[in-house]
Amino acid sequence: MSMKKSTYAFALIIAVIVTMAACTKSGQLNAPAGQIAATYTRGKINQPDLMALSGADSTKVVNWSVSPAGSDSLIVQRNIAKWFFKKAGTYIVSANQSGGASANITITVIDSLYVPTPYATPFTAGEQITLVPKYVKSTTSDSTYLSFTATTKNSYCANSTMDMGVFYDRNSNTYYMQLTQVLHPEDCGVGSSPITKTVDYGSYQASLSDGSYPLNIEFNNQPSLTGSIEITDTQIVFHWTNTGGVVITPLTLSR
């Protein structure tokens, strides 16, 4: 997600908050003018809390403060604040504009860590995943197996990860891989970059054996791309002619 989209999403959330129907208590989402509207007054550690000074002049700066300070972080956009509280406790958040009276709201943070629900989005148009294979020898046993490092061509918002999984079917001796989508938390972070993720087949194989093995890769929930892996005593060759969506490089590894 780009910075432009993140800013738009943030603004949209705030617009919804400050215009919601009167279905919440005063001091929460639809606070009267001059009071602070907040998404919650009782939350968890690191749970984002969006706040707005109701009725504030959007052309003027709102000054925000918290007591006690030092266990929080703050992102401000005009009269909107996004707070993160890093320790359990009770906090008093204050806001005012020049010439106006201060408004206060009490926030209670319980001793429980907030775990955001990941958001799933498809890979963006024109995406191409580069897979870099590696021949791995275990340092703790005689096991040998394959690993793959996947990197996107396109960039995604900070804190994103790839929804990627592997499976080896012992009945058909087939390698399977899924490159499904992009996952990111609600707070996507600032900036964007390509995503890299490494997976391996170590839990499926005691050791690599000579032979030819089908390779099926499902990309972006489309029909599987197919190829094969040829393993000999001296090398591993990837027979992979697909160039749309997923490429493998290098195609030959030494054993």
Q: Are residues 134 and 98 in the same domain?
A: no
Q: What is the pTM of this model?
A: 0.59
Spatial distance between the Cα atoms of 98 and 169, rounded to a whole number of angstroms: 67
Q: Are residues 57 and 108 in the same domain?
A: yes
Q: Are residues 125 and 105 in the same domain?
A: no
Q: Are residues 143 and 250 in the same domain?
A: yes
Beta bridge partners of 95: 64, 103
Q: Are residues 68 and 97 in the same domain?
A: yes
Q: Are residues 135 and 65 in the same domain?
A: no
Domain boundaries, position 9: 3-113
Per-residue pLDDT, 234: 95
Count: domains in the chain: 2
How many residues are given for the chain?
Answer: 255
3-class DSSP assignment, residue 4: helix
pLDDT digits (tens, 9 = 90+) for 164-217: 999 998 888 999 999 999 998 777 777 899 999 999 998 887 789 999 999 999
pLDDT digits (tens, 9 = 90+) for 78-92: 677 888 899 999 999
pLDDT digits (tens, 9 = 90+) for 124-163: 999 999 999 999 998 877 889 999 999 999 999 888 999 9
> 10 Å Cβ neighbour count for 45?
17
3-class DSSP assignment, residue 86: coil
Do 237 and 230 form a contact (C-beta atoms < 8 A)? Answer: yes
> 10 Å Cβ neighbour count for 152?
21
Q: Are residues 144 and 109 in the same domain?
A: no
